[in-house]
Amino acid sequence: MEINIRARTGLVSDFGVFDRVVSTGGSGHVELLKRAGAFLTYSSFCPPDDLADRGLLGVKSCFYTQDALGLWKIISRYVAGIVSLHYETDDSVKEDLELQTWCREITEVWLLGAQDRGFPVSLQSKHQLCHFVTMCIFTCTGQHSSSHLGQVLITLDWYAWVPNAPCTMRLPPPTTKDVTLEVVMATLPNFHQASLQMSITWQLGRRQPIMVALGQHEEEYFSGPEPKAVLKKFREELAALDKDIEIRNAKLDLPYEYQQPSLVENSVAI
DSSP secondary structure letters along 193-235: HHHHHHHHHHHHHSPPTT--BTT---S--S-SHHHHHHHHHHH
Distance, in Å, from the CA atom of 249 to the CA atom of 239, rounded to the nearest integer, reads 15
Longest dimension (CA), the chain: 72
Distance, in Å, from the CA atom of 21 to the CA atom of 196, rounded to the nearest integer, reads 7
Judge whether 251 and 197 are in contact, CB under 8 Å. no
Q: Which residue(s) pair with 113 in the sheet?
A: none
Per-residue pLDDT tens, the chain, 270 aa: give them.
787 888 888 888 888 888 888 887 767 878 888 888 888 999 999 999 999 999 999 898 999 999 999 999 999 999 999 999 999 999 999 999 999 999 999 999 999 899 999 999 999 999 999 999 999 999 999 999 888 776 655 555 677 788 888 888 899 888 888 999 999 999 999 998 888 888 877 777 667 778 899 999 999 888 899 999 999 999 999 999 999 999 999 999 989 999 999 999 998 876
pTM of the model as a whole: 0.88
Residues in Cβ contact with 263 at an 8 Å cutoff, skipping those fewer than 6 apart: 145, 149, 213, 257
C-alpha radius of gyration, the chain, whole number: 22
Q: Which residue(s) pair with 265 in the sheet?
A: 213
